[in-house]
């Protein structure tokens, strides 16, 4: 007897639906450390029914109509680079793989606006823009293994957010498909006061309110020539003042990064770094006014007792900035660089500048209670605050024992973050990992609003169940 999956296959072009177990298994999780841990120890992922690979907006709409009719859950995914479990398979769900919708549709060289399908990867988009002398300026570490749709769904921010803004600053227009198959097309606007900004309702929704299928994004001219300034502040917190001044006094570097001593040792040890924190500024030196802005930042840095470092620090970081992605499989994949029982993960929080001096040690101590090799850097600076990005290594007796301790570590670190006034995620999203903490994050009123909107837009709870809202 043909089942509902056969019916779906009949409504889509040949090859769009696969029930091949290998195809399903390859898309059963993202890069969440716990999902990788479970995979290497051989636990089967939740049993999804099929992988659907649409090639058009209409095919996504047809799939969601079918899902509504058959009450089938849908887990959307791009390239699977998320680290919070947002693309984890659910039992009985279909996996909606948008990676075949990867075309750059149009580049408007007057408005610097690029229309692109949600499954396009970042490096492909940059190549297309580069031929027009443009860049999106959105450079997550995952650039080569993440998609436009994933960036929007998970509220992505890139390494040059100081210069170009984060994903929400780049989204001009959007096409999304709601549960049940209704298509909404939000025309590209530089800004509009015609009601609340519906684009923003889907940014960060992690596929729970709709599936983003196309976007129009705001690009910029490629920087003319990168240049770097590097400093060693007296201490990590002493470096905050210079980073804060740069964010508040209207200089416009493209990159701002401040490493604490452990993270600096890890990142710059190969340069012979002699200890202490490292503060980096990246500039477009082809702009004539960059000289005066670099001088200003240098004077603020020196006023705080900061020592100059070689500009090679910046070039080194730029060259190696995405190495972690390439070595990731060695750490958490089959090779298990640090052996069984070990989980390496990252946590990125954010707060107002006023709260950062307490947030930094608060989260650090919570992590150190269970983890080792805890390093931290400050990045993504704003007038009002900044992000802190921790890397840590958690070691248990074996892979089985690691799960409980890892989850306890996260609960404790999130609680420490909230106690210090921070948000538990700056750009990695909530996914499965942090869903149980979302009420503590948003408050009872905030979570109530979000749940009511979820129920209004997806009354049967079919879109990415269990993610974001536990």
* Nearer to its own copies among residue 28 and residue 435 (C-beta): 435
Q: Do β-strands 74-77 and 171-177 pair in parallel, antiparallel, or remain unpaired?
A: unpaired
What stretches of 336-403 adopt beta strand conformation (E)?
A: 342-352, 371-379, 385-395
- Give me the least distance between CB of 287 and its own copies, in Å please: 6
Report the site for its own copies in 170-229 (rule: CB under 8 A).
172, 178, 182-198, 200-206, 209, 218-221
- Give me the least distance between CB of 107 and its own copies, in Å please: 11
- Give me the least distance between CB of 335 and its own copies, in Å please: 30
- C-alpha–C-alpha distance, residues 74 and 57, integer Å: 16
Near its own copies by CB under 8 A: residue from 70, 453, 460, 465? 453
- C-alpha–C-alpha distance, residues 371 and 343, integer Å: 9
49 interacts with its own copies by CB under 8 A: no
288 interacts with its own copies by CB under 8 A: yes
- C-alpha–C-alpha distance, residues 313 and 230, integer Å: 6
433 interacts with its own copies by CB under 8 A: no
- Give me the least distance between CB of 183 and its own copies, in Å please: 6
User: In this chain, which stretch among 3-11, 51-59, 69-77, 436-444 interacts with its own copies, using CB under 8 A?
Assistant: 436-444
User: In this chain, which stretch among 93-101, 249-257, 339-347, 389-397 interacts with its own copies, using CB under 8 A?
Assistant: 249-257
Residues binding its own copies: what is the number (CB under 8 A)?
A: 97
- C-alpha–C-alpha distance, residues 94 and 60, integer Å: 12
What stretches of 71-193 adopt beta strand conformation (E)?
A: 74-77, 94-97, 104-108, 113-117, 134-135, 171-177, 183-186
- Give me the least distance between CB of 271 and its own copies, in Å please: 29
- Give me the least distance between CB of 175 and its own copies, in Å please: 9
Q: What is the DSSP letter of 305?
A: T
Residues with Cβ < 8 Å from 283, sequence gap 6 or more?
226, 227, 228, 229, 253, 254, 290, 293, 294
Q: Are 83 and 50 in contact (CB under 8 A)?
A: no
User: In this chain, which stretch among 93-101, 305-313, 400-408, 430-438 interacts with its own copies, using CB under 8 A?
Assistant: 430-438
- C-alpha–C-alpha distance, residues 124 and 109, integer Å: 18
* Nearer to its own copies among residue 306 and residue 425 (C-beta): 425
230 interacts with its own copies by CB under 8 A: no
Query: What track of x and - describes contact with its own copies for positions 101 through 140 (by CB under 8 A)?
Result: -------x-xxxx---------------------------
- C-alpha–C-alpha distance, residues 48 and 2, integer Å: 18
* Nearer to its own copies among residue 400 and residue 451 (C-beta): 451
Query: What track of x and - describes contact with its own copies for positions 365 through 384 (by CB under 8 A)?
Result: ---------------x-xxx
Q: Are 160 and 254 in contact (CB under 8 A)?
A: yes
* Nearer to its own copies among residue 9 and residue 433 (C-beta): 433
Of 136, 130, 178, nearest to 156 by C-alpha is: 136
């Amino acid at each position: 007897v043909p089942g509902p999956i056969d019916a779906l296959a009949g409504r889509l072009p040949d090859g769009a639906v696969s029930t091949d177990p290998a195809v399903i298994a390859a898309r059963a999780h993202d890069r969440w450390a716990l999902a990788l841990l479970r995979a290497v120890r051989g636990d089967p992922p939740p049993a999804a029914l099929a992988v659907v690979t649409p090639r058009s907006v209409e095919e996504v709409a047809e799939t969601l109509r079918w899902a509504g009719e058959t009450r089938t859950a849908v887990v959307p995914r791009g390239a699977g680079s998320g680290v919070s479990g947002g693309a984890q398979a659910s039992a009985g769900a279909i996996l909606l793989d948008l990676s075949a919708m990867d075309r750059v549709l149009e580049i408007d060289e007057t408005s610097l606006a690029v229309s692109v399908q949600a499954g396009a990867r970042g490096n492909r988009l940059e190549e297309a823009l580069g031929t027009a002398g443009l860049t999106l300026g959105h450079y997550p570490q995952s650039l080569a293994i993440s998609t436009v749709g994933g960036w929007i769904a998970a509220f992505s921010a890139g390494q040059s957010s100081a210069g170009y803004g984060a994903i929400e600053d780049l989204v001009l227009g959007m096409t999304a498909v709601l549960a049940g198959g209704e298509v909404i097309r939000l025309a590209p606007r530089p800004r509009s006061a015609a009601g609340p900004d519906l684009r923003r309702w889907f940014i960060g929704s992690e596929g729970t309110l709709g599936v983003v299928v196309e976007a129009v994004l705001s690009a910029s001219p490629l920087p003319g020539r990168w240049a770097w300034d590097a400093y060693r502040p007296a201490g990590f917190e002493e470096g905050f003042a210079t980073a804060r001044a740069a964010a508040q006094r209207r200089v416009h570097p493209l990159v701002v990064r401040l490493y604490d001593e452990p993270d600096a040792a890890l990142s710059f040890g190969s340069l012979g770094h002699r200890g202490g924190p490292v503060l980096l500024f990246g500039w477009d030196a082809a702009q004539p006014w960059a000289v005066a802005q670099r001088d200003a930042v240098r004077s603020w840095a020196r006023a705080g007792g900061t020592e100059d470092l070689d500009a090679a620090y910046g070039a080194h970081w730029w060259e190696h900035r995405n190495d972690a992605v390439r070595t990731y499989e060695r750490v958490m994949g089959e090779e298990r660089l640090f052996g069984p029982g070990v989980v390496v993960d990252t946590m990125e929080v954010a707060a107002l500048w006023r709260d950062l001096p307490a947030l930094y040690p608060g989260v650090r101590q919570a992590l150190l209670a269970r983890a080792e090799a805890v390093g931290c850097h400050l990045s993504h600076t704003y007038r009002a605050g900044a992000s802190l990005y921790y890397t840590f290594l958690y070691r248990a007796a074996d892979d089985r024992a690691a799960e409980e301790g890892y989850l306890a570590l996260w609960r404790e670190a999130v609680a420490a973050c909230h106690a210090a006034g921070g948000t538990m995620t700056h750009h990695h999203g909530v996914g499965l990992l942090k869903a149980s903490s979302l009420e503590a994050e948003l408050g009872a009123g905030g979570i109530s609003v979000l749940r009511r909107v979820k129920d209004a837009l997806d009354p049967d709870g079919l879109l990415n169940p269990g993610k974001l809202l536990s």
